[in-house]
Amino acid sequence: MSADRTADRAANPARTLFATVLACEAIVIALAIPVAVSIMDVDGGTAGAVCGGLAVACLVLAGLLRFPWAVAAGTVLQVLIIATGFMVPAMFFLGAVFGALWGTAIWLGRKAAAVQAR
């Protein structure tokens, strides 16, 4: 592993957890598209644009976690994903679960950074 990657991980020890949450969230939100269309009678274009756009945003943001603003952007993304519950009600629950995981990653990252600072 290069020195740059080691220093980058040391700057944000929870980065792997953030990326994992976002990747899993991208899968779940993409799977909400057929549910929205077939069960909830949402227009396919609308469901594809909203859920597909959020899934792509999750994956792009997972790649941008090296920047300090990405965690704040991820927090906004969590709120948007919870809001997809208006299309697929189960997403209120699933979004809240992923939001809790996101919050846990923030908490663990701060805790790990405090330990590294000692």
* 64-111 residue pLDDT tens: 999 989 999 999 999 999 999 999 999 999 999 999 999 999 999 889
pLDDT value of residue 6: 52
What is residue 9's predicted lDDT score, i.e. its pLDDT? 52
For the chain, the straight-line distance linking the first and the last C-alpha, in angstroms and rounded, comes to 24
Q: What pLDDT is stored for residue 90 in this prediction?
A: 95
